[in-house]
Structure 1
Amino acid sequence: MGVFALTEPAYAGEQPGNTQGSNTEQSGGGDGNGIYATARITYSGSVAKGGGKGNVTSADVNWTPPPCWYAPFLGAKDFKKLMSKNIEDQMNAPGMGGHAGAALSELQRHYEDEYGWTDTPGYKDYNVDKDGEGMFWAAVENPDEPDPLERGSCDELPFWVDNGEAPPPRYEEAISPEILAALAYQHMQLPDTKASLAPEGTTKVNLPTWAWLDRAVFDEVQATAALNVPGFNIQATTTAKPVALKLEPGTEDADTYPASGECAINADDSIGEPYAKGKADQTPPCGLRYLRSSGNGSYKLRATITWEINWTGTGGAGGDLPDGTFGNEQAVVVQEIQSVNR
């Protein structure tokens, strides 16, 4: 079946709240054309600002958020009004070139006089006799998906779903708690990671540098995505829990403690151990040791936290999502001991 592109698209409502760990929530407003304002995905909790992607990166390179999905779009009368005014424009939309004529006639028949195809039943007068009893669903492109072919892979014509009913099984990409969980994951905003160091900022060659993060850094982070329309209300919440800190010295001329560079979280939800006077000759439980001077520059130490992420959703749904990672770089100057003893 040919691609159908609405000139007034089914918007994803990419307008999440702003601030980390907050309970703010924003949703897209109506646009005066009969589109349900509530038919947009809303985000709340710790989510990225301005509708952009969050700063969490999946540890599984094979996992990606959905590039598109099907979601409630318009009631019967509003859909008829849109199609009646813009039917020719729809056929000239991207992906429909060369389908004018017979295809236009078939599309009109599909929604006007029950003309259908295999697994795609037609409709009588746009289902206006069922207005208020359901909605037409349409494809939504994920604006954060960089591949236009992937974004356009949901290419089915708009279809009807009765209130309280699930979309037909053939529409595997129909919006669901699991898809909402993936979108919440994509927009989740994690706190910045800057490890405390001793010595701080400037250290010496072969001197153990202690690294730690206080328990206050490791509060759980939650983000929620929801979709609420008449007869169809679902949501999903992702929860990220920090489980480890990885240190990357920024040079091969360094040792890490432990050798893997991965410092596990302690029982009190902290990581590592703060340096205290008298521990200069001890091996830090979490830290590093530079073996060569950084010269006139500095090394870029990267501290990355691994977050264990799961989700819960409407109807008792839930499960695990790939671990997420997020880290920051901080400059470390390494000096030769002799240079400071002259």
Structure 2
Amino acid sequence: MHAVTSRAKWLLVSGTATTLALLPGTAFADRHHGGSSQGNYHSSGKQAGGSIESRITFSGSTRGGSGSSSQAVTPVGDWTPPACWYEPISARDFAKRTEASYDEVVNNPAQPDYAKAATGQFRDIYKDGKYKNYNLDKKDEGNWWVAVQDDNRLDEPGAWDCSELPFWVENGDTPKVKNAVTPQVLAELAYNRIQLPTTEVTLAPANTTKVNLPTWAWLDKAKFKDVSVTASLNVAGLNIQATTTAMPVSLKLEPGTSDAQTYPASGECAINADGSIGEPYAKGKADQTPPCGIKYLRSSGDGTYKLKATVTWQISWTGSGGAGGDLPDGTFGATQDVTVQEVQAVNR
């Protein structure tokens, strides 16, 4: 089991005509996205003084288990896990971080005037403007909720969907914004961090086969089992978690050429009752049809065919308070080289 902190940062967004997204730090760069002419700014590096790292932690199969390589689950369809979300921060921490960011920016000669002005405008809203002194006198009655972006997904349009300024939420109230952290949102974030160990399908004959000879394919249950990631958030009086579990349900074989026949004909090999897929080849089965496999009808010549094996995973989650449900299925695919040779005939 591995525990990791989310690679995500606090995102401050102003509501002025010129939208400014500010990640407190030492350097600002002009960014454009979605075809908009609005300028967006975020820091180019992590700074402990002003930057607030997400408090969400992840544990479980976040590194592909013990394998040397791994791959994330790819959702089926057009659904994607959130690339930004809202999470709470105490009034005391919000005040401390905002003041640190303000001092860091305005006292740095290298910062441009627009960055200093924007930082000052943001501070004024919460210190002496719409709110007074960061609501510190109400610190036991609620928390600030701030937008957070996933550092690994800043180039995705969804990373900019959380455009609300930090807002105050009384204890017991539900934030009225999309992607405010709940057990389900945590489950969706955990989905994006599931890492599966790279697994090659076992073939018989292995790697090199003959034209018109059925090639058996299988995945052993010991290497092909459920994996899960747990996301937890314990901050500002909010203590919730969710565990997202991926369960393998089928294997699809794509031979890498149209000159091939799959078993079954659909190329979809279902999971067996014991958790394996397919059936290992054994001596004496040469004339049998494999429950999962391929028959190549043409030689690969001097090259190889790229056999693609894609596993479909059924994704479910459970969370705090007995919550739970299903998330879109995911897939995980890998390719391997297969050499197909002609059967040599002997002329007498």
TM above 0.5, yes or no, is yes
- Residue 165 of structure 1 aligns with an amino acid whose one-letter code is G
User: 1:170-319 maps to which residues of 2 (within 5 A)?
Assistant: 171-319=177-325
Which of 39, 42, 57 aligns to 2:74? It is 57
**Distance in 2, Cα, partners of 1:340 & 1:193:** 39
User: What is the DSSP-based 3-state SS (H/G/I as helix, E as strand, rest coil) of the residue aligned with 1:190?
Assistant: strand
Displacement after TM superposition at 1:217 (Å): 2.2
Q: Cα–Cα, structure 1 residues 66 and 261, in superposed 2: closer, same or farther, change >3 Å?
A: same
More displaced stretch, 76-85 vs 258-267? 76-85
**Distance in 2, Cα, partners of 1:189 & 1:251:** 29
2:3 aligned partner: none
Displacement after TM superposition at 1:339 (Å): 6.7
Kindly indicate whether residue 180 of structure 2 is the aligned counterpart of residue 165 of structure 1.
no
Is the Cα contact below 8 Å between 2:226 and 2:247 reproduced in 1? yes
Kindly indicate whether residue 48 of structure 2 is the aligned counterpart of residue 48 of structure 1.
no
Which of 132, 135, 151 aligns to 2:159? It is 151
**Distance in 1, Cα, partners of 2:221 & 2:329:** 20
| TM-score where L is the length of structure 2 | 0.76
Kindly indicate whether residue 74 of structure 2 is the aligned counterpart of residue 68 of structure 1.
no
Q: Cα–Cα, structure 1 residues 296 and 340, in superposed 2: closer, same or farther, change >3 Å?
A: farther
Displacement after TM superposition at 1:133 (Å): 4.7
Q: Cα–Cα, structure 1 residues 34 and 134, in superposed 2: closer, same or farther, change >3 Å?
A: farther
User: 1:32-111 maps to which residues of 2 (within 5 A)?
Assistant: 33=49, 40-48=55-63, 54-60=71-77, 62-76=78-92, 77-79=95-97, 81-82=99-100, 85=103, 110-111=125-126
User: What is the DSSP-based 3-state SS (H/G/I as helix, E as strand, rest coil) of the residue aligned with 1:144?
Assistant: helix
Structure 1: state its 5+ residue gaps: 10-29, 116-121
- CA offsets 1:224-279 (integer angstroms, 9 cap, x no match): 11111030111111111111111111111100000000001111211111112221
Is the Cα contact below 8 Å between 2:89 and 2:236 reproduced in 1? no
Displacement after TM superposition at 1:284 (Å): 0.8
1:329 aligned partner: 335
Q: Cα–Cα, structure 1 residues 32 and 109, in superposed 2: closer, same or farther, change >3 Å?
A: closer
Is the Cα contact below 8 Å between 1:79 and 1:136 reproduced in 2? no
User: 1:26-37 maps to which residues of 2 (within 5 A)?
Assistant: 33=49
More displaced stretch, 79-88 vs 316-325? 79-88
How many residue pairs get matched? 305
Displacement after TM superposition at 1:35 (Å): 7.4
Is the Cα contact below 8 Å between 1:35 and 1:73 reproduced in 2? no
Q: Cα–Cα, structure 1 residues 197 and 149, in superposed 2: closer, same or farther, change >3 Å?
A: closer
More displaced stretch, 279-288 vs 75-84? 75-84
**Distance in 2, Cα, partners of 1:180 & 1:241:** 19
**Distance in 1, Cα, partners of 2:89 & 2:117:** 24
Structure 2: state its 5+ residue gaps: 1-14, 26-45, 65-69
Q: Cα–Cα, structure 1 residues 248 and 242, in superposed 2: closer, same or farther, change >3 Å?
A: same
| TM-score where L is the length of structure 1 | 0.78
- Residue 111 of structure 1 aligns with an amino acid whose one-letter code is Y
- Residue 59 of structure 1 aligns with an amino acid whose one-letter code is V
Is the Cα contact below 8 Å between 2:85 and 2:162 reproduced in 1? yes
Displacement after TM superposition at 1:188 (Å): 0.2
